[in-house]
Amino acid sequence: MTLPSVKNLDLRRKTVLLRTDYDVPLGQDGRVTDATRIEDSLPTIKHLISQKAKIIIIAHLDRPGGKVVKGLSLKPVAEKLNLLLNREVKLSTEVLGKKTDRVVKELKPGEILLLENLRFDHREEKNDRGFAKKMASLAEVFINDSFAASHRHHASIVGVPRYLPSVAGLDLMKEIDVLSQVLQKPRRPVVVILGGVKRSKIEAARKMVGWADYVLVGGKLVLYNGLPQLLGHEKIKGHLKRDGEDITMESVKEFEKIIAEAGTIIWSGPMGAFEKEEFSKGTKRVAQAVVDSGAYTVVGGGDTEAALTKFGLVNKIDYISSGGGAMLFFLAEKTLPGIEAILKKKR
């Protein structure tokens, strides 16, 4: 897949609108507890600084429901970004409005403005055209560097590119490059492991049957309508345990045998409530089997990464994607709404 990249544009002294993924965990003191996603955005930001672009960053944090929630402000993100870049990052006290307009006009080359949490405005998740157009009016170029949100039909992902020249950021390019290689030249057998609680993974399982050699299913997915029928397919494996708190030992043993023979493993979602010791066995056994397999391993989703961290295995994974839902969407559809928005603008 050939995407127009931020590296292909002359952005000197231009005002750019950069969509990043800053949906990061916050501690009880309100500080960022894991800055990985912020760090992922640094290569693109540093490139823009080197070009002396005027940088407006837009991002969301959690799910405030279209209203202002003080505890979900991007202020802690701005503070962390300040430290990582060793330069001032201005924070707008609103998403859009007269104050934002004024600060944007005053931006100098190389300066950075972070707008407040996009999801404080209900129009973001509704993909409101007026909201997207207003965001676009702030800049001359749009850069999507948020892989984790690129499966969303939101204003900042698919709306803004209607009104601005649009390209992919460096982190988005990296994600697409890695996953495209997995799609095009996988070491076989390909084993997809799906767990967690999101119903959308049932559809992902259905679509991946044509590409994967096996799809192993656990977690709360066992409770949802549609799965029992899928389990009749020869490629889809899993034994139902009606409480969904952990997979059965029958599943564990079958999964371990399949994983041991894998050439490529894609994993999104724990096998059960691994946070509780009594329900952690399935996830732990599967995690150990994955790292022992010798396969090329790709993991997506915060819960899966948290489980691997808990069991001391996270550093043994070949690639950790920044977005579980976006990763599965891309592997199932071979594209993302955010990518299509950029390509459509290119055409």
| pLDDT value, residue 247 | 84
| pLDDT value, residue 208 | 85
pLDDT digits 0-9 by tens, 88-121: 999 999 999 999 999 999 999 999 999 999 999 9
- The CATH classification number of 6-174+336-346 equals 3.40.50.1260
pLDDT band of residue 284 (cuts 50, 70, 90) is very high
Answer yes or no: same fold for 6-174+336-346 and 186-316.
Answer: yes
Out of 148-157, 255-264, 298-307, pick the least confident.
298-307
Residue 10 confidence (pLDDT) above 70: yes
Break the chain into its structural domains and give their ranges.
6-174+336-346, 186-316
| pLDDT value, residue 312 | 95
User: What is the SS3 assignment for the chain?
Assistant: CCCCEHHHCCCCCCEEEEECCCCCCECCCCCECCCHHHHHCHHHHHHHHHCCCEEEEECCCCCCCCCCCHHHCCHHHHHHHHHHHCCCEEECCCCCCHHHHHHHHHCCCCCEEECCCHHHCCCCCCCCHHHHHHHHCCCCEEEECCHHHCCCCCHHHHHHHHCCCEEECHHHHHHHHHHHHHHHCCCCCEEEEECCCCCHHHHHHHHHCCCCCEEEECHHHHHCCCHHHHCCCCCEECCCCCCCCCCCHHHHHHHHHHHHCCCEEEEECCCCCCCCHHHCHHHHHHHHHHHHCCCEEEEECHHHHHHHHHCCCHHHCCEEECCHHHHHHHHHHCCCHHHHHHHHHHC
Q: Which CATH number fits domain 186-316: 3.30.43.10, 3.30.1520.10, 3.40.50.1260, 3.40.640.10?
A: 3.40.50.1260
For residues 18-46, give the mean pLDDT.
Answer: 95
